[in-house]
Structure 1
Amino acid sequence: MKKIKLMTHVVVGYPDIASTNELVKAMEQAGADYVELQIPFSDPIADGPTIMKACDTALKKGVTVRDCLRVMKTLSDQVSTPLFFMGYYNTVFHFGVEKFCKAAKSAGAYGLIIPDMPPDEEQHEHFIKACRTHHLAQIRVVTPASSSHRLKLNAEVSDDFVYCVSHFGVTGSSVSKKVGFESYLKRVKKYFKIPIAVGFGISGREDVRQVEPYADIVVVGSAIIRIIEKSQSFKRALEEIIMLIRSLRA
C-alpha cells in the first residue's frame, strides 16, 4: 500500500521570522516530506481567510522578499527536506523574474509554486526559461475550473507533482464539503503522469483517508496557522503542530 506524503505550509514572518525558522525545523523533525514557504502578499487570491490574515500580519511587520530569501537560506543550510517558495506572480515580476529565480536557487529553494501564473501566456515564457536555467522545479496549480486545454498545457511544464486546490480563495475549508472532489482528481490524473498533491481541507487523519485513494501528497497549511492563532504561547503551538504532523503521517 502506498504511503501518502505530506507537505506543510508556512507564511514567512508569521507569527514572526524567528518562529518561522523554528517551525520549519520542527516540521522536518515531525516527518514533513516537503515544506512550502509562502512569501506574504497583499492580495493572495488562491488562499482562504486564515492564510490571508497571516500574510497581512507578516506584511504589517515589514516582511519583504529579501527577508524571505534570507529565511530560505538559513533553513536550507539546516534542513534536508525540500523547500519550496510559494508566492504570486506580481511579487516575482516586480523583483525581476530572472533575478528572483537566481536568488531563490542561491538561497536553497528546491522549486516554486506560483498559483496565478497560467502557462499559456507569452509573458510567462521567460519565467519557465528562468526556472529551467536555475534548476528550479515548477509546481503548477490547478482547480476544478481548469479547462482541458489548461490542464494539458500545465502537464507539459510541471515538475515533480501537480498541486490541486478546490478553487481559489477557499484553501483550508473541509474536505468533506468538497462535492465531487473524487471526479476532479480523477480528471487531473488523466493529464498528469506525476504525483498529485491535494491542498484543501486537510486538518486531520480522516481528511487524509478521504483523499488517499486519489492523491500522492497532502498539503496542510490553514490548520497549522489556526493552531498558532489559538495557542496561548508559540511553544505550545509548536507542540500541537508536531502532534498534528505525526498524526497525519500515522
Structure 2
Amino acid sequence: MLKNKGALGLVVEYGSDTSDDDVPGPRVSTKRTHKSDDELSDSERHYNKKDKMLPVPQVFRELSSDQHTDDPALHDDRIRSFAHVRGNWASYAYIPFENIDGVVDLVECIINKLAGKIPLKQTDDFHISLSKTVILKYHWIPTFVESIKSRIELSRKFLVIFDGLKIYCNEERTRTFIGLQIGSGYDSLLRIVEIVDKCLEEFSLATFYKDPSFHMSIAWCVGDFENELKSILPELNQKFSELTEAYTQEYWYIFVQSIYFKTGNKLFQFNLT
C-alpha cells in the first residue's frame, strides 16, 4: 500500500520503479515522444491546437461584458432615465408614507374614472422625494451616508399635511404622475433638502429642484398626459375632499421622524431629534 505522498513524491517513486530496462524484447522506450510542429500533419496540428485551447469559464465571459439591455417590460414599461452601468448605484432620499388606506381608496376611484382613457397605475411605494435620483459610485456610499447622517441627526421632527391633488410630468416627458401636494410642512422639508443638497454637491451630483413642489405621487402612467389630467383636476380634487371627510385625519398627514436614503439595494434610516 502506498503511503500518502505529494504528487512530486509519486512521480519520483514511479520513475525509480519503472525504466526502459524493465520492458522485455528490443529496447523500445515507453516514454511518449512528441513531434515538432514541422513533423505534424495538417490534421494533427488542428487537433493539437484544440487540445491546448481551454474554454473560458462562464463567470469570466459574463464579467467581460459591461453591456446591459434595458427591457421596459420588466418594470411596467417604464423607461430608464440613464443607462445601467456596473458599479453605479441609483440613489435618492425620501420620506415614506404608511397610513395608506385612504390614499389607496382615492387612487382606485381615479383609476376607475379614467379606465379606457388613460392607463393609470397605482404607485408601488408612497413617499415624498427629497432629492432627484442620482448615481453613486459603489465606493462613495460609506462617505456619502456618513455625510448625510452627521447633518440630518441635528434636525427636528415635523408634520407634513396633504391638501389636494396636482399633476406632474418628469423632465424627460416619459411619465405623468398624479400627486398629493403639501399644505403644511414645506419649510421643514426645504431645510432637509438643503442638507441633502450639500452632501450631493460634495460629490458633484445634481441637487434638487429650485423652489420644489413637494408632493407624494399616488398614480402614474407612461407618456405625457399632463394636459388631459389637468383638464379633469377639479373633479379629482372633489373626490379627494370627499375622502378626507370619510377617513380620519391621520390618513392625510405624515409625522416625519426619520429620513431614508436608498442606494441600489441598500437602505439607510436617519432619525430626527
Regarding TM over 0.5, the answer is: no
What's the TM-score once normalised by structure 1's chain length? 0.21
Structure number with higher strand proportion: 2
For the pair shown, the structure with the greater C-alpha radius of gyration is: 2
Please report the TM-score for the alignment, with normalisation by the length of structure 2.
0.20
Structure with greater proportional helix content: 1
